[in-house]
Amino acid sequence: MNFYFEASEVLNRLDAKEGSIKGILATLPENNRARTTALVIETLKYKSVLSDVIQASKLLTEEKKKITSFNLALVLVHDTLLVNGIQAGDGPIKQAILRHKTRLRSELQRIKIKRGVKSNLELAQTSDDRAAKIPRYVRVNTSMWSTEEAMQFYTKRGFQLQGPFASSKGFEIDEHIPDLLAFNPALQFRDDPSYKTGKIILQDKASCFSAFVLSPPCNDPNAVVIDATAAPGNKTSHLSALMGNKGKLYAFERDKRRFSTLKMMLSKAACRNVEAVNADFLTIDPSHPKYSLATHILLDPSCSGSGIVNRLDYLLEDEVEVVDEDRLNKLAAFQLMIIKHAMKFPRVQRIVYSTCSIHASENEHVVSRALQSDEAKSGSFKLAPRNDVLPKWNRRGQAEGMIGTGDADSLVRCSPGEDGTNGFFVSCFVREPNFVLPQAEPSKKRKADTEEAALEKRKKKPKKKVKTE
């Protein structure tokens, strides 16, 4: 029965708008995540019908002492009516549902007759039409195998290089992001052995832009890179792979639950060069001996998520979304703060700021204000030219949102339903070429060791013999 309590708690959190379906499901324990995810998603598909059935049967009224949560009733009634029954022992809660089984079935049948449908499947809520235009993207985790090996693996299983929409077994190599494969949108990879072992990462194409544009040093043992807001870890694992698992990648996540998810993800993806840090990036001192050496910083902070058109969030769209200007302004203030903080790191050369938002207030306006900040001016930051930021990608930034501070052509936008991705925004700040990097100061220990070695050398140095007449 704990499984049902866990699923109902996810529904409670969704009702409280604590995050997206995908985000909340990512915080579940790995060992039970797939089962709980399936129940939550299927329950949401039939939520409208199940709610009517529960209300008509007066289940909660007659069993209020046993079933105190509406969402618990939803998941239990779902399994009672639409699958093979409640998967739990005969406890008082299960018995409370079974006492009303006949009535529940009668109410479901009455709804089917009223709506003129013959099967339960016809009662399910259909998906967002835009999601059907987005391929199922699979990023090959090159920390574990090559793209060539991955392609051989899938072709041996009957997949063909003919495009993701040509057939259910069609796929192709993405033209913009290396090591990214596009499959048919209807495909599921949760049970794929490559997914279970971390050899592939399910990640939207637009989400891959951030790490790719940051372009961290590859196979450099001295490289230092920061992922400022790392959980759940898709972009972090991408950065690690791009770095060839060399150097040091610091991944910050302040939330303890999400930090736990991040560590599991990094372990599964075999990210050996990552040090996960359970801390708020904004509290990190830019002059810290370890972190001050960072030359590349990835910023993908909290945003409205208005660009996400995945195969789950449509299940929560009960009404037309109203843009909350106050919330957008608060998010924009936080986003600007994190960019300005990143610009304070003394050796940083490249900063990527991205969001999964379609609003200029979180995108062009934030970038424009960042360019006008004291941090940008003192650090000699500007926007990287288009040639350094996915030059072949056609959809660029909105010029009217830049307020004369930078070239909108340097920015990247993705439009949901039109570009084969979710909605996304990417910008890249770089130092001016004439900026002089501060020399890294040796640590106290290294300095002391150096001084001691010099003293020993002086002691051992033979004295010159003075010639005598």
- Integer Cα distance of 63 and 45 in angstroms: 25
- Integer Cα distance of 56 and 104 in angstroms: 8
Task: Sort strands 224-227 and 200-202 into parallel, antiparallel or unpaired.
Answer: unpaired
Q: How far is CA 365 from CA 333, 351, 411, 428, in A?
A: 10, 17, 12, 14
Residues 6+ apart with CB under 8 A from 178: 147, 212
Angle at which helix 205-214 crosses helix 234-242, to 10 degrees, equals 40
- Integer Cα distance of 394 and 53 in angstroms: 49
Q: How far is CA 417 from CA 307, 308, 310, 340, in A?
A: 10, 10, 10, 33
Given 208, 271, 303, 356, the catalytic residue: 356
Which phi-psi region, left, alpha or beta, contains residue 97 (left: φ > 0; alpha: ψ -120 to 50)?
Answer: alpha
Asked about 271 being catalytic, the answer comes back as no
Residue 236: exposure state from Cβ atoms within 10 A (0-12, 13-18, ≥19): buried
- Integer Cα distance of 297 and 389 in angstroms: 15
Angle at which helix 101-115 crosses helix 70-82, to 10 degrees, equals 80
Cβ–Cβ under 8 Å, residues 140 and 180: yes
Instruction: Say how many CA atoms lie within 13 Å of 96 toward its Cβ.
Output: 18
Catalytic residue ranges: 356
